[in-house]
Amino acid sequence: MMLATRVFRLVGNRTLSTSICLRGGHGVAKVEDYTLPAYFDRRESPLPDIKFVQQLSPEQKSLKEKEKGSWAALSKEEKIALYRISFKESFAEMDKGTGEWKSVVAGIFFFIGFTGLVVLWQRKYVYGDVPHTFDAEYKQKEVQRMLDMRINPVEGFSAKWDYENNAWKK
């Protein structure tokens, strides 16, 4: 550290500043907004890098002067004003919910409903007739065939049919 300061004294501060001047003042890059410290309201970082209000009005400036004295002399409104100069939202305001969930649920119901309409339309206009195997007469013959074959006679289909009385078991 000491060595560096001695070098600076040898080189002379003038050479550093004149080098930029020689280049016509274009040596320093423009400071972009996003490179500067920003204000954030965060629960996990209660004191942000900068105050919320950067340009103070004359009343705010005089309030800031008053802040240097006893705080007991400040009224409630003045204290709140000082808080609002430094911070945008209080913890209660930053933590409050947005009610966005209501929009989400409404959207869900809407699109499910719309899908239902699409399905009904499809049934009417897109799908053709069902196969003849769905006809009531055919189904009756099918059931009779299954009973004749003794499908699942122990615990399943035919087990529920009373062969003596030719009816389903009660």
Q: Which residues bind another protein (CB under 8 A)?
A: 43-49, 67-68, 70-74, 76, 79-80, 82-83, 85-87, 90-93, 95-96
20 or 80: CB nearest another protein: 80
Beta carbon of residue 54, minimum distance to another protein (angstroms, whole number): 14
Beta carbon of residue 56, minimum distance to another protein (angstroms, whole number): 13
- Computed on alpha carbons and rounded to an integer, the radius of gyration of the chain in Å comes to 42
Residue 26 near residue 20, CB atoms below 8 Å? no
82 or 146: CB nearest another protein: 82
52 or 157: CB nearest another protein: 52
53 or 151: CB nearest another protein: 53
Residue 58 near residue 5, CB atoms below 8 Å? no
Task: Measure the CA–CA gap between 151 and 51, rounded to whole angstroms.
Answer: 82
Beta carbon of residue 99, minimum distance to another protein (angstroms, whole number): 12
Residue 39 near residue 29, CB atoms below 8 Å? no
Closest CA to 48 of 63, 56, 36: 36
Residue 158 near residue 151, CB atoms below 8 Å? yes
Tokens of 104: 């989400």
Beta carbon of residue 51, minimum distance to another protein (angstroms, whole number): 8
